[in-house]
Amino acid sequence: MLAKRNAFYAQSGGVTAVINASACGVIETARQHKDQIGKVYAGRHGILGALSEDLIDTSKESMSAIAALRYTPAGAFGSARYKLKGLDENRAQYERLIEVFRAHDIGYFFYNGGGDSQDTALKVSQIGVKLNYPIIAIGVPKTVDNDLPITDCCPGFGSVAKYVATSMREAGFDVASMAKTSTKVFVLEVMGRHAGWITAACGLAAENESEAPHVLLFPEIPFEQEKFLARVDEAVKKYGYCAIGVSEGIKGPDGKFLSESGLKDAFGHAQLGGVAPTIANTVREKLGYKNHWAVADYLQRAARHIASKTDVAQAYAVGKAAVEFALKGQNAVMPTIVRKCDDPYKWGIGMARLKDVANKEKIMPRNFIARDGFGITEKCRAYLRPLIMGEDYPPFRNGLPNYVRLKNIAVPKKLDGEFEV
Amino acid sequence: MLAKRNAFYAQSGGVTAVINASACGVIETARQHKDQIGKVYAGRHGILGALSEDLIDTSKESMSAIAALRYTPAGAFGSARYKLKGLDENRAQYERLIEVFRAHDIGYFFYNGGGDSQDTALKVSQIGVKLNYPIIAIGVPKTVDNDLPITDCCPGFGSVAKYVATSMREAGFDVASMAKTSTKVFVLEVMGRHAGWITAACGLAAENESEAPHVLLFPEIPFEQEKFLARVDEAVKKYGYCAIGVSEGIKGPDGKFLSESGLKDAFGHAQLGGVAPTIANTVREKLGYKNHWAVADYLQRAARHIASKTDVAQAYAVGKAAVEFALKGQNAVMPTIVRKCDDPYKWGIGMARLKDVANKEKIMPRNFIARDGFGITEKCRAYLRPLIMGEDYPPFRNGLPNYVRLKNIAVPKKLDGEFEV
């Protein structure tokens, strides 16, 4: 049995409706193993909390507050878009991490994020060997984009999928009932920078081809204006209206984003948003149909009120499994979701090596996208359907979801110097 | 007792999450009075269905299908943006209505809509006298904009209010957790062309001034850029981030819409949308803060999955009351919501004359808006709070709301000629 040491947990990258459910899984499971894990310290603002020795003592939070994380969206400890450089590029950062970890007797590192974050977890796991500091680093998967490899799906995705499919169905009912004299084309822009999983999920709203959405625009498929307009016109003539789901990341045949703001985030990715009005204007100019557009933006990834019960359960399970892996002495691994059966849906927890996960993006298989590029296949539906199953409503107070705000009490600092992040 | 005659019901103008609950109230109540009301015929696409003799026989729908209207958003029979002209301007339209009503023995006219639609209901009620055709016309209130006079609130508004407040709270949690290294300013654009009720409802998300939203932009308050930017900057410096709720209809000091697409709807109103990116760009250019924006558009008014239980109950109640008024021989009236007590909330049904309701807009009282114009007052909160109380989830199937699609079987036509609408 390993010596009893403290754990560090941090949230990284864009938050989701269920990343706190993973935090809940980590903390509750750690609390059940007090003989092996001392306290769980959370990084305030993700890894920045470790670098700046700004740690949150989660042991100061009540059982009920931690339990409430299961139904509270976004990052309860603060997340960060901050990518550690390589060990050779910025050795000082890693030495600082070790300094902080040593000062607080941290022997477990749980890092909750997407592909970039799994890369960070991998680098931290390597400190043990390269800088002679014993630490176990486990990744906890999270991303609304559903683009991590190996795992069947990513916690966070199922809830966005349920939100966009529900929203598309509701907006579809709206437009269908008004189309005779008003809006005939509706465009909903959803997230998914390079992978069309969220766009595909919009497709679940339709139970047959007459229902919304009639056209999906995937980042994997180059946008061809003439083909697109022909499809829209066909839908309007056939069904009276056309509902379109579009990924923020669609590109033209030249490979450029249709709507590029020119800004980049800390990972160097372009900051997107606003392709819906571009698409809507094209429809108006070329086809003359009255249209409306919506951009769901953060609403979709924060919508805990309509979270998928399956997603919540999986988010909790990967947090729990991460702690269990660590206690078994596993290092540089990440729990995965393993699909055992589509219908009835059965899943379990597997394990992936971080080196196989880090910095890799899983895009949609071509056979999940209809041959003409504007819809999803039955194979895709079979994959997506279970992920949105079940409702898991948060408690409400005064008519609104009663989400928890933690006390987030800082661990007293033990180090003198400041560290410039 | 009046002779047994058929009823006509139609939906008009923009649909809501609960207008079908009013339809449910009308139809179920009519079915309970078969001695006085024969069949309920619904207009396909609102009043157009009457003009074109395209009537839907609701008696062909099962009890359970009609009951399902209570939890199905949008307009089950189709709505229309179509305003009847005055009797003197287009007498042929009214003569056509009478021709259709007479052919189908329609003696009751229930018209479910906002201010423009109550005007139509009023005109129809006047046919009785002016064209010597006995008909009872009752308005059924509906509008997400909450801008009808006399009634304490409008069915449809409470559910939008609950949706935008929930969305703002969720997005606020998201941005708060990311602001250290990422988005610092978030803008949510909501509906409400001339009245700021929906914008005000965003304000319910905050339980204290540190919480989202920090700034609200009302159509009632001219937009002053310098004052606005100062408020945003102050919030970011004080709380780390700033969440903004903005009405689609905000105007500059010159009285012009900040974002005007130039299109007009059938009622002659400008078609708006897209002020959020304008506001976001202003923040980025002038303050340099990274930002994101969302435009909820139809998602907000179709979001039956997060409807207010109070709103659903009131929508049903006004439908029921409309039939009861008609059976008592009332004409040219509209049921209203009467508030009896704020806390605990108590309400009942009242009655307004259509002539007092038609074509009037109720904007926010100035004392509902904070002195600086960027927030809501305690008086406003006390008014809004009860309207979003209670959840009333629809049933789900395969992970999605299981909304009803009616058969909408047409009543055989009895008239020969076509009528050019």
Identify the pLDDT of residue B245. 98
CA atoms within 13 A on the CB side of A164: 38
Residue A409 CB neighbours (<10 A): 13
Identify the pLDDT of residue A268. 52
Q: Write the DSSP symbol of residue B163.
A: H
Identify the pLDDT of residue B2. 57
Q: Is the peptide bond before B149 cis (omega within 30 degrees of 0)?
A: no
- Over residues B61-68, the mean pLDDT reads 98
Contacts of B172 (CB under 8 A, 6+ apart): B186, B205, B206, B211, B212, B213, B243
Identify the pLDDT of residue B137. 96
CA distance A316 to B312: 34
CA distance B127 to B141: 21
User: How would residue B124 be classed by pLDDT, with cut points 50, 70 and 90?
Assistant: very high
Residue A277 CB neighbours (<10 A): 19
Q: pLDDT digit string (tens) for B232-251? A: 999 999 999 999 999 999 99
Are residues B81 and A181, on separate chains, in Cβ contact within 8 Å? Answer: yes
Share of chain B above pLDDT 90, in %: 83
Architecture of the domain made up of B5-142+305-355+393-401: 3-Layer(aba) Sandwich (3.40)
Identify the pLDDT of residue B268. 52
Contacts of B149 (CB under 8 A, 6+ apart): B352, B356, B357, B360, B361, B362
A369-388 residues touching B, CB cutoff 8 A: 385, 388
Query: Whole-model pTM?
Result: 0.96
CA dihedral over B320, B324, B326, B327, signed as positive or negative: positive
Q: pLDDT digit string (tens) for B281-315? A: 889 989 999 999 999 999 999 999 999 999 999 99
Q: Is A283 on the interface with B (CB under 8 A)?
A: no
CATH fold match for the domains B5-142+305-355+393-401 and B157-302: yes
Q: Is A250 on the interface with B (CB under 8 A)?
A: no
Contacts of B230 (CB under 8 A, 6+ apart): none
Q: Write the DSSP symbol of residue B394.
A: P
Are residues A181 and B80, on separate chains, in Cβ contact within 8 Å? Answer: yes
Domain A157-304 matching CATH 3.40.50.460: the answer reads yes
CA angle (B229, A262, B293) in 5-degree steps: 45
Q: pLDDT digit string (tens) for A166-178? A: 999 999 999 999 9
Range from A125-129, A312-316, B23-27, B159-163 carrying the lowest mean pLDDT: A125-129
Residues of A in contact with B169 (CB under 8 A): 400-401, 403
Q: What tokens appear for A374 in the block? A: 């504007």
Are residues A167 and B393, on separate chains, in Cβ contact within 8 Å? Answer: no
Identify the pLDDT of residue A209. 94
Q: What tokens appear for A59 in the block? A: 């042991």
Q: Is B297 on the interface with A (CB under 8 A)?
A: yes
ipTM value > 0.90 = yes
Q: How far is A326 from chain B (nearest CA, A)?
A: 27
The residue of chain B with its CA nearest to that of A291 is B271
Asked whether A154 and A141 are in contact (CB, 8 A), the reply is yes
- The label of the residue with tokens 């169905």 reads A169
- Over residues B336-340, the mean pLDDT reads 98
Q: Are strands A55-57 and A260-264 parallel, antiparallel or unpaired?
A: unpaired
- Over residues B193-221, the mean pLDDT reads 96
Classify the phi-psi angles of B11: left when phi > 0, otherwise alpha if psi is within -120 to 50, otherwise beta: beta
User: How would residue B267 be classed by pLDDT, with cut points 50, 70 and 90?
Assistant: low
Asked whether B333 and B141 are in contact (CB, 8 A), the reply is no
Residue B64 CB neighbours (<10 A): 8
For B131, list phi and psi in degrees, rounded to 5.
-115, 10
Instruction: Specify the CATH number for B157-302; select among 3.90.1170.40, 3.40.50.1000, 3.40.50.11740, 3.40.50.460.
Output: 3.40.50.460
Q: What tokens appear for B125 in the block? A: 């009620």
The residue of chain A with its CA nearest to that of B309 is A399
pLDDT tens-digit profile, chain A (421 residues): 557 999 999 999 999 999 999 999 999 999 999 999 999 999 999 999 999 999 999 999 999 999 999 999 999 999 999 988 888 888 899 899 999 999 999 999 999 999 989 999 999 998 877 888 999 999 999 999 999 999 999 999 999 999 999 999 999 999 999 999 999 999 999 999 889 999 999 999 999 999 999 999 999 999 999 999 999 999 999 999 999 999 999 998 888 888 664 444 445 554 445 889 889 988 998 999 999 999 999 999 999 999 999 999 999 999 999 999 999 999 999 999 999 999 999 999 999 999 999 888 888 999 999 999 999 999 999 999 999 999 999 999 999 999 999 999 999 999 987 777 7
Identify the pLDDT of residue A418. 76
Share of chain B above pLDDT 70, in %: 96
Q: Is the peptide bond before A149 cis (omega within 30 degrees of 0)?
A: no
Identify the pLDDT of residue A2. 57
Asked whether B15 and A182 are in contact (CB, 8 A), the reply is no
CA distance B79 to B116: 13
Structural domain spans, chain A: 5-142+307-355+392-401, 157-304
Q: What is the mean pLDDT of chain B?
A: 93
Q: Is the peptide bond before B401 cis (omega within 30 degrees of 0)?
A: no
CA distance A392 to A24: 15
Type of residue found at A421: V
Identify the pLDDT of residue B278. 87
Range from B24-33, B137-146, B245-254, B325-334 carrying the lowest mean pLDDT: B245-254
Residues of B in contact with A301 (CB under 8 A): 174
Instruction: Specify the CATH number for A5-142+307-355+392-401; select among 3.40.50.450, 3.40.50.920, 3.40.50.300, 3.90.850.10.
Output: 3.40.50.450
Are residues A174 and B263, on separate chains, in Cβ contact within 8 Å? Answer: no
Which residue in B116, B119, B145, B152 is the catalytic one? Answer: B145
Type of residue found at B205: A
CA distance A375 to A216: 5
